[in-house]
C-alpha cells in the first residue's frame, strides 16, 4: 500500500456520475446534474446525475420487468450464487479504485477504505451468495389428507436508500440478501457519496447480473429518494439513515402502497465502565478507537461513556491521553487515522454541538476545534467532554462526529437508568470483571447489540439493528432474508 501514490491517482481520476438503469449508464431524463466536491480539500470531483421522479420511474420499471420475466429470480439458487461470487471477486479486484473513490467522496482514511470498506462489502455479497443454495423451506405438520408447504419467495422490487458514512457497506447490507433472494433493486446512494454505488452496479453487470436487476439512481433525498419511497411498484424500502428521515419512510409507505419499510436509524450508544473492571487502559483504548473510527460518523459510535465515579478521574485521564492519537490528517496519507467530515454542513453541525457542550457546562478535556482549515477541507479534532449530564443536548442527540460525552454514575441501578434513558437503542457496552453483573446488565440494556468487555467484534454472521427509535429492521446475518422475502403457505389436498 505504501508504494501507491494516492494523490497522483486522485489527480487522474475522472469518476462517472451518470445513473445506471437497465444495464446502461444514462444521463437524467431532464439532463440535470449536481456538482460533487471532495471533503478532503473541497476539490470538484465531477458532475453527478440529479435523479428525479422520471429517472426513478425508469429504474423501477426496468427492475419490475426484470423481476416479472424471472431473468434473475428464476435462476437456480446455485447459479445466482456463482454470479454473486463473481461480483464479490470483482469488488476485491477493484479494491484500490473503490477505496480511492470512497475516500475522495466522503473523507475517510484510505487505509480503512482499503482494509475495512472494500473487503467488508465483498464479504457481505459473497456470504449471502454462499448461503442462498443452503437454505431450505418448511413443511408444516398436517393430517394425512393435506400437505402444507411454507416457502419463501423473493418480494419483487426493493428500493435501497443509504447514507454516506459507509456508502459501499451500507449498500451491500441491502444488496447481499435482496439480490441473493432473487429480487431486483433500485439503489439511491446519498448525494454526499454517490460514486462507489455506481461502480458497484457496473461490476455487478460485468459479473453477469442481468440488466435491470440492479439499478442505481443518484440524487437528493427529497427528489430521487422521495420518488423511490413513494413509488407504487416498489415492494419494500431498505432504508439506512437518520431517524428524522426514517419517520418519513413510514409516511411515504402509508401514502402509497404500504410497502414494507425497514429502517436502520441513528444511535447514541452507551459504554458502561464499572469500578470492578481492572484493565481501564484497555477500556480507554477501545472506547477512543471505536468513537473516533470513521471520524465518529458511525451509527454505533459509543458516544455516551458512563463511568463509575470512583474510577472516573483515572479513566478520563486515560481517554484524554488517547484522543490526540487520532489527530486529523490527509485521508490520502496511508498513516492517517482520522479523516475529513463529509462536508461543510456536517462540520458546522459538529462544531455547533461542541459549542453546546461548552454552553451547558461540560469540561472539554481533549480537542474541540476545527483542524486543517488551510486545506479547504472539513476536519474536526477528536473531542472529549467530561462532566456531562444525560439530559444535556450533546448526551441526547446523535452528533455524528468525533465528540464523546463522559457521564459519571454512582451505582449499577443509576448506570442502567442513564444508559436506557435515550430515544435510541442501537448498541451498548458493559465493562465489568463480575460475571453476574456483566450478564445482568447486558440483559437489562435496551439495545440491539450489547458488547461485554469489548466493542470491536463485528461480523456479517450476526444481526445489526436497533431497539426503539434506532429502527425496526435487522441488516446482516440470515435474518436479513426475512426483509426481502415473502412467506407463502400452499395447502395441497391429498386424496
Ligand atoms: P439521512 O437520513 O440524511 O439520509 C440517508 C439517505 O436518505 C440519503 O440517501 C438521503 O439522500 C436520503 N433522504 C434524505 N431525505 C430524504 C427524503 N425526504 N426522502 C427520501 N430519502 C431521503 O442520513 P445521513 O446523514 O445520510 O446518514 C447518517 C445517519 O445514518 C445517522 O443518523 C446514522 O446513525 C444513520 N446510520 C444508521 C445505520 C444503522 O445501521 N442503524 C448505519 C449507518 C448510518
Q: State pLDDT tens for residues 90-106.
A: 999 999 999 999 999 99
Question: What per-residue confidence (pLDDT) applies to 247?
Answer: 98
The 10s digit of each residue's pLDDT in 401-418 is: 999 999 999 999 999 999
> Counting atoms of ligand 1 from 1, which one is nearest the CA of 299?
34
> Counting atoms of ligand 1 from 1, which one is nearest the CA of 300?
34
Among 242, 254, 399, 466, which is best to mutate for testing ligand 1, by the most ligand atoms less than 8 A from CB?
242
List the beta bridge partners of residue 368: none
Atom 18 in ligand 1: residue holding the nearest Cα: 222
Q: Where are the beta strands (DSSP E) in 190-259?
A: 214-216, 236-240
**Cβ–Cβ contacts within 10 Å for residue 488, how many?**
11
Please state, for a pLDDT cut of 90, what percent of the chain lies above it: 99
Atom 23 in ligand 1: residue holding the nearest Cα: 241
Identify the three-state secondary structure at position 276.
coil
Rg over CA atoms, the chain: 23
By the 8 A CB rule, do 295 and 339 touch?
yes
Distance 259 CA to ligand 1 centre (A): 18
**Residue 367 class from Cβ within 10 Å (0-12 exposed, 13-18 middle, 19+ buried)?**
buried
Distance 239 CA to ligand 1 centre (A): 7
Angle between helices 95-106 and 77-93 (to 10 degrees): 70
CA distance 218 to 162: 11
Residue with cell 431486483: 184
Cα atoms in the Cβ-side hemisphere of radius 13 Å centred on 254: 6
* Position 380 pLDDT exceeds 90: yes
Atom 28 in ligand 1: residue holding the nearest Cα: 241
Pocket of ligand 1 (CB under 6 A): 161-165, 170, 188, 190-191, 220-222, 225-226, 229, 240-242, 245, 248, 264-267, 299, 398, 400, 426, 464, 466, 470-471, 475
Distance 307 CA to ligand 1 centre (A): 31
Question: What per-residue confidence (pLDDT) applies to 217?
Answer: 99
Give buried/exposed letters for 442-453 (b at 16+ CB in 10 A, else e).
Answer: bebbbbbbbbee
Atom 16 in ligand 1: residue holding the nearest Cα: 221
Distance 161 CA to ligand 1 centre (A): 8
The 10s digit of each residue's pLDDT in 173-231 is: 999 999 999 999 999 999 999 999 999 999 999 999 999 999 999 999 999 999 999 99
Cα atoms in the Cβ-side hemisphere of radius 13 Å centred on 26: 17
The three cell numbers of residue 413 are: 441501578
The three cell numbers of residue 159 are: 428500493
Provide the Cα torsion 218, 221, 222, 225; round to 10°. Answer: 70
By the 8 A CB rule, do 438 and 432 touch?
yes
Among 221, 295, 464, 483, which is best to mutate for testing ligand 1, by the most ligand atoms less than 8 A from CB?
221
Give Cα separations from 310 to 41, 273, 385, 449 (angstroms). Answer: 44, 11, 18, 27
> Counting atoms of ligand 1 from 1, which one is nearest the CA of 246?
2
Point out the residues that are catalytic. 264, 299
* Position 156 pLDDT exceeds 70: yes
Residue with cell 440494556: 445
CA distance 224 to 211: 21
The 10s digit of each residue's pLDDT in 363-379 is: 999 999 999 999 999 99
Question: What per-residue confidence (pLDDT) applies to 456?
Answer: 87
* Position 3 pLDDT exceeds 90: no
Residues whose CB falls within 8 Å of the CB of residue 246, separated by 6 or more in sequence, listed in order = 239, 263, 265, 469, 471
Question: Which of 171, 180, 155, 176 has its CA nearest to residue 235?
Answer: 155
DSSP 3-state helix, strand, coil percentages of the chain (rounded to 5)?
A: 40, 20, 35
Name the maximum alpha-carbon separation found in the chain: 82
> Counting atoms of ligand 1 from 1, which one is nearest the CA of 228?
20
Stretch 8-36: mean pLDDT, rounded? 97
* Position 431 pLDDT exceeds 60: yes
Distance 192 CA to ligand 1 centre (A): 11
Distance 37 CA to ligand 1 centre (A): 19
Q: Where are the alpha helices (DSSP H) in 360-467?
A: 393-396, 412-420, 435-444
Residue 228: phi and psi, rounded to 5, are: -70, -45
Among 49, 166, 245, which is best to mutate for testing ligand 1, by the most ligand atoms less than 8 A from CB?
245
Angle between helices 412-420 and 435-444 (to 10 degrees): 30
Distance 315 CA to ligand 1 centre (A): 33
By the 8 A CB rule, do 202 and 221 touch?
no
Give Cα separations from 442 to 229, 267, 448 (angstroms). Answer: 36, 17, 11
Among 238, 241, 247, which is best to mutate for testing ligand 1, by the most ligand atoms less than 8 A from CB?
241
Residue 2 confidence class, pLDDT cut points 50, 70, 90: low
The 10s digit of each residue's pLDDT in 418-427 is: 999 999 999 9
Residues whose CB falls within 8 Å of the CB of residue 136, separated by 6 or more in sequence, listed in order = none
CA distance 191 to 106: 10
Identify the three-state secondary structure at position 30.
coil
The 10s digit of each residue's pLDDT in 446-467 is: 999 999 999 989 999 999 999 9
Atom 40 in ligand 1: residue holding the nearest Cα: 264
Distance 172 CA to ligand 1 centre (A): 15
Provide the Cα torsion 225, 191, 335, 429; round to 10°. Answer: -30
* Position 25 pLDDT exceeds 70: yes
* Position 1 pLDDT exceeds 60: no
Amino acid at each position: 500500500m505504501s508504494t501507491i501514490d494516492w494523490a497522483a491517482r486522485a489527480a487522474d481520476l475522472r469518476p462517472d456520475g451518470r445513473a445506471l438503469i437497465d444495464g446502461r449508464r444514462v444521463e437524467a431524463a431532464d439532463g440535470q446534474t449536481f456538482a460533487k466536491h471532495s471533503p478532503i480539500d473541497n476539490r470538484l470531483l465531477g458532475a453527478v446525475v440529479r435523479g428525479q421522479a422520471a429517472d426513478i420511474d425508469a429504474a423501477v420499471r426496468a427492475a419490475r420487468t426484470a423481476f416479472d420475466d424471472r431473468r434473475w429470480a428464476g435462476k437456480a439458487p446455485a447459479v445466482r450464487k456463482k454470479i454473486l461470487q463473481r461480483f464479490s471477486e470483482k469488488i476485491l479486484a477493484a479494491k484500490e479504485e473503490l477505496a480511492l473513490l470512497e475516500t475522495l467522496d466522503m473523507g475517510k482514511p484510505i487505509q480503512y477504505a482499503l482494509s475495512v470498506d472494500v473487503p467488508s462489502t465483498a464479504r457481505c455479497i459473497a456470504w449471502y451468495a454462499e448461503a442462498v443454495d443452503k437454505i431450505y423451506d418448511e413443511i408444516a405438520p398436517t393430517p394425512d389428507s393435506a400437505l402444507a408447504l411454507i416457502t419463501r419467495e423473493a418480494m419483487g422490487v426493493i428500493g435501497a436508500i443509504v447514507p454516506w458514512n459507509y456508502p459501499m457497506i451500507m449498500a451491500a447490507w441491502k444488496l447481499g440478501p435482496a439480490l441473493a433472494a432473487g429480487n431486483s433493486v433500485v439503489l439511491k446512494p446519498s448525494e454526499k457519496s454517490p460514486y462507489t454505488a455506481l461502480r458497484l452496479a457496473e461490476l455487478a453487470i460485468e459479473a453477469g447480473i442481468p440488466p435491470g436487476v440492479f439499478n442505481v439512481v443518484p440524487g437528493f433525498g427529497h427528489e430521487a429518494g422521495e420518488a423511490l419511497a413513494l413509488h407504487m411498484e416498489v415492494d419494500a424500502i431498505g432504508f439506512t439513515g437518520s431517524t428524522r428521515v426514517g419517520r418519513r419512510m413510514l409516511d411515504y409507505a402509508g401514502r402509497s402502497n404500504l410497502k414494507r419499510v425497514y429502517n436502520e436509524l441513528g444511535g447514541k450508544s452507551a459504554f458502561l465502565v464499572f469500578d470492578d473492571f481492572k484493565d481501564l487502559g484497555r477500556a480507554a483504548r477501545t472506547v477512543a478507537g471505536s468513537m473516533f473510527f470513521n471520524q465518529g460518523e458511525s451509527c454505533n459510535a459509543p458516544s455516551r461513556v458512563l463511568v463509575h465515579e470512583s474510577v472516573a478521574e483515572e479513566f478520563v485521564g486515560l481517554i484524554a491521553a488517547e484522543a490526540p492519537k487520532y489527530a486529523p490528517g490527509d485521508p490520502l496519507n496511508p498513516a492517517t487515522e482520522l479523516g475529513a467530515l463529509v462536508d461543510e454542513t456536517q462540520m458546522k453541525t459538529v462544531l455547533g454541538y461542541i459549542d453546546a457542550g461548552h454552553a451547558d457546562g461540560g469540561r472539554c478535556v481533549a480537542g474541540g476545534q476545527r483542524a486543517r482549515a488551510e486545506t479547504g477541507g472539513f476536519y474536526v479534532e477528536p473531542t472529549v467532554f467530561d462532566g456531562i449530564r444525560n439530559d444535556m443536548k450533546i448526551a441526547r442527540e446523535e452528533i455524528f462526529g468525533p465528540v464523546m460525552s463522559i457521564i459519571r454514575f454512582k451505582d449499577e441501578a443509576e448506570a442502567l437508568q442513564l444508559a436506557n434513558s435515550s430515544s435510541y437503542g442501537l448498541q451498548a457496552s458493559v465493562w465489568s470483571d463480575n460475571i453476574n453483573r456483566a450478564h445482568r446488565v447486558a440483559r437489562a440494556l435496551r439495545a440491539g447489540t450489547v458488547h461485554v468487555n469489548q466493542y470491536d467484534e463485528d461480523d456479517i454472521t450476526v444481526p445489526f439493528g436497533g431497539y426503539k427509535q434506532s429502527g425496526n429492521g435487522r441488516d446482516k446475518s440470515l435474518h436479513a432474508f426475512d426483509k426481502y422475502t415473502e412467506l407463502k403457505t400452499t395447502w395441497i389436498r391429498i386424496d
